[in-house]
Amino acid sequence: MAASEGLAIGALARRTGLAVSAIRYYEAQGLISPWRNAGGQRRYQRADIRRLSFVMIAQQFGLTLPEIRRVLSGLPGNRTPTPQDWKAISVQLRAHLDQRIDTLKRLRDNLDGCIGCGCLSLPKCALYNPDDRAKSHGSGPRYLMGDAPEG
């Protein structure tokens, strides 16, 4: 297949390890933008392999699809991203990862007080229910039952 013909969706699925349905979903979410050949078949750029790989990695970092779409919108649509393009993205993600690391450290450091809580309304829960504010809504796992935490 000539590079100008692009990749068929099956070839993209084999290269990324994603199901065809997942690729179509990511397309619907605006994360990749294939074109159609004369026969109406989707064709993808080789750069979409990296874009989809980035999507999978970014999801593991905890980014949502709208966040991922925002980050990817900074990449050029008419050429393959350069190492400098990817470096600029990594700088953007660093703050997000640092914040996530801080949150996970706080959770780890307070985990002994949360294990077995179940209701998230122990009087000394510093993470989800400081000063047992949830008890004003009744008994049980108030936040899991749909009550919004008070800000």
DSSP 105-129: HHHHHHHHHHTT--SS--TT-TTT-
Q: List, in sequence order, every residue forming a beta bridge with 35; answer none if it has no partner.
A: 43
Mean pLDDT of each 10-residue bin along the chain, 151 residues long: 76 96 96 91 91 91 90 76 86 87 79 56 61 75 68 59
* Structure tokens given for 8: 């068929």
Distances (CA, A) of 135 to 10, 75, 125, 140, 142: 54, 48, 12, 9, 8
pLDDT at 1: 45
Contacts of 88 (CB under 8 A, 6+ apart): 74
Contacts of 36 (CB under 8 A, 6+ apart): 42, 43
Contacts of 11 (CB under 8 A, 6+ apart): 1
Is 50 in a helix, a strand, or coil? helix
Distance from C-alpha of 83 to C-alpha of 88, rounded to nearest angstrom = 9
pLDDT at 52: 93
The alpha helices in the chain, defined as continuous H runs, are: 9-16, 20-28, 47-60, 65-72, 83-114
